[in-house]
A and B are shown apart, each in its own frame.
Chain A
């Protein structure tokens, strides 16, 4: 599965950003490997080995000390019945779907505007939209929890000011809407990140296509949906994959704004692992949850790749 993904990324990059395939500047294989070696070693040490270790630890009952008891698949059996885990998974899916529409959708709209002729001060807009992505997620979470505060928060104050005080509510206390409320800062923070990616992909589109379509009478929206979107499809595939991967392990915002509460209504999988490890001291079970997060995330990414690229349709 991983090699399939790597192959996809490789072919995406090769097809879009100009091809070095036939260039005489291309380095020999041995030199390339030598350059990549330190990075790969570091990656193996810091990412790959801990993942395998986690997988191994998920078969034990371990509270962090010297004693480990082998219990086979019992952790996974408990995991299947753990309603908090499945609630967290559901919350992660909701956040991911909202982010795909919000982060990537809004980023695409902004990119289309910034790419057109109408907008002045383009670099200023780029900086302002990208700026939140540079702030720490913890800071973003804190600031937004002040905004949502019932007593002195910005939203309730503005509603009072507009004589709409009856709409003011305890935004962070309602378990039915909390996951949507918490998605706001997450979407807000990373729009700029995806906008930069999509904007750079748009620059590779030949401008003549737009000129020809204008002659044919296409308006802005038609140009965006029928011309731009299909031509940057590979990049969109990459952004969707980044979005899913990032939102499956979302932690900082939720931890700071609600701590998973009220109760477990805004719990996400990464926070569930954290609490199981550090508060319940159940390291083995937490490892099992981590393995589950990895498997579920990779599955979702594979599904999204298949839906976007549709290899069965192209083969015909």
Chain B
């Protein structure tokens, strides 16, 4: 019994020691000479060469590392969904990375929680830098006159990519200009067993970001949209114009314009439908341009043309509009200490200014930096077409870049049900408005 008791106590002591060592090791961070900056982004190195911005981002990052050998940079990249979870967790744990990517719809929460710092002072001190961005580039990250982030890309989220050959076969030389023409075309495609549009709404943002942002604005007008964004009590989601936009969207889905599995496949699988010619068109953002160039089959690539959603005559929002603008911003967090701040600002200039923009623009991205310097002739044909096409299109706000995150989540989830006829437009509008009312 005595030996058993002794070895029992010894065992417990050993357990305690090993446990305490396990807990102690994770906490300390190496600091000392040299500045260390941590970056968390949803750009992953393996994607370099695929989209324009990713290539520009890493090119600028590598250039900064080369120019500043005494500064240690720790970069971590995740996909967008995992990124959102991680940044929220780090914020709640008060352990934000020094530089991170901020989505327009998170600004209110992040500013209220003190997770992002105001960089107006540095911007105003360098007018050449501040004025180099496109008009309205800072709108989504400006709160109470203070600017909290720098725009990186200016994308159009609502671009119609259509297969010219397939549309010509049913008698359309160009994409329909009016909504009635589109509805007629849907009937013709249905008769041939082809989906008019491919949609992959499993992640639930494509339907809202690529379709509803434009469709809604067409019917409500941009004034209404801006008032919703600024939480003006005079406008509501239950206003008849917005409800009508939900009705129009639902009617199109019920008519059979989309593939039947819209809610169970993601955007990548939807693109496969378009590439395999099971669908005649796809509505996505300008990021798809370089993806089509690198992964689409030759015949689809050469037949792809661009358009915007057709005109809806009853709408107040005009015809040639598409949701677009900067959606993601680079920002500095409250983790940045005094001496690190200057280095962080410098890094921001690299990542969002001409060093990044020139590379991005030449690999087919559209930057928020107004005039990137690149060889226009080397750009892929679809990109050149986009550059001239977009001159005549007025940009309207992207819903999930500007509206509050909880409102967007209710909208996105509800749209999945709306598109399969499980929820009425009026009910969905009420649910979204209820969420909007809860915003303080």
Contact = CB atoms under 8 A, between A and B. Distances in A.
Interface of A: 27-28, 31, 34-35, 37-38, 42, 63-67, 145, 148-151, 170-173, 175, 258-265, 275, 277-283
Contact of B114 (A65, A150, A173): A65
B114 A261 contact: no
Contacts of B85: 278
Contacts of A172: 261, 263-264
B132 interface: no
B198 to A, nearest CB: 11
A140 to B, nearest CB: 17
Interface string B359-384: 00000000000000000000000000
B405 A262 contact: no
Contact of A175 (B91, B92, B405, B417): B417
Given A28-B1, A65-B113, 15 more contacts: A38-B19, A63-B113, A64-B92, A67-B112, A149-B261, A173-B261, A173-B420, A175-B417, A258-B264, A259-B203, A261-B204, A261-B263, A262-B264, A262-B417, A262-B422
Contacts of B203: 259
Contacts of B12: 34-35, 37-38
Contacts of B91: 64-65
A42 B19 contact: yes
Given A263-B414, A283-B92, A151 B113 contact: no
Interface residues of B, number: 44
Contact of B416 (A27, A38, A42, A263): A263
Given A149-B264, A262-B422, A281-B406, A31 B88 contact: no
B84 interface: yes
Contacts of A263: 263, 413-414, 416-417, 420, 422-423
Interface of B: 1, 4-5, 8-9, 11-12, 15-16, 19, 84-85, 88-89, 91-92, 94, 106, 109, 112-115, 202-204, 260-265, 269, 273, 405-406, 409, 413-414, 416-417, 420, 422-423
A172 B79 CA distance: 24
B202 A261 contact: yes
Nearest to B15: A38
A263 B422 CA distance: 9
Of listed B19, B91, B202, residue having the most chain A CB within 10 A? B202
Contacts of B19: 38, 42
Contacts of B413: 260-261, 263-264
Contact of A277 (B88, B204, B423): B88
A260 B417 CA distance: 11
Interface residue SS majority, chain B: helix
Given A38-B16, A64-B113, A170 B202 contact: no
Given A64-B91, A65-B112, A173-B260, A278 B416 contact: no
Contact of B113 (A66, A150, A170, A277): A66
Nearest to B440: A61
A66 B416 CA distance: 34
B113 A35 contact: no
A171 B269 CA distance: 16
A282 B88 CA distance: 11
A122 B213 CA distance: 60
A281 B262 contact: no
A247 B288 CA distance: 40
Contacts of B9: 34
21 contacts: A27-B4, A34-B12, A35-B8, A37-B12, A38-B12, A38-B16, A63-B109, A63-B113, A64-B109, A65-B115, A149-B265, A170-B260, A170-B261, A172-B264, A262-B264, A263-B417, A263-B422, A278-B85, A279-B405, A280-B405, A283-B92
A34 B102 CA distance: 50
Contacts of B204: 259, 261
B263 A279 contact: no
Contacts of B260: 150, 170, 173
Contacts of A260: 413
A307 B94 CA distance: 47
Nearest to A280: B406
Given A151-B261, A258-B264, A282 B406 contact: yes
A255 to B, nearest CB: 10
Contact of B263 (A66, A173, A278, A281): A173
A222 B413 CA distance: 50
B208 to A, nearest CB: 13
Contacts of B405: 279-281
Contacts of A37: 12
A77 B413 CA distance: 23
Given A31-B5, A65-B115, A279 B264 contact: no
Contacts of A38: 12, 15-16, 19
A31 B11 CA distance: 11
A269 B414 CA distance: 18
Contacts of B262: 173
Nearest to A38: B15
A63 B108 CA distance: 11
A123 B204 CA distance: 45
A262 B413 CA distance: 8
Given A64-B88, A263-B413, A175 B261 contact: no
The 7 closest A-B pairs by CB, nearest first: A65-B113, A263-B417, A172-B264, A64-B92, A262-B263, A150-B261, A280-B406
Contacts of A277: 88
A84 B406 CA distance: 14
A117 B399 CA distance: 66
B35 to A, nearest CB: 26
Given A65-B112, A149-B264, A173-B262, A35 B202 contact: no
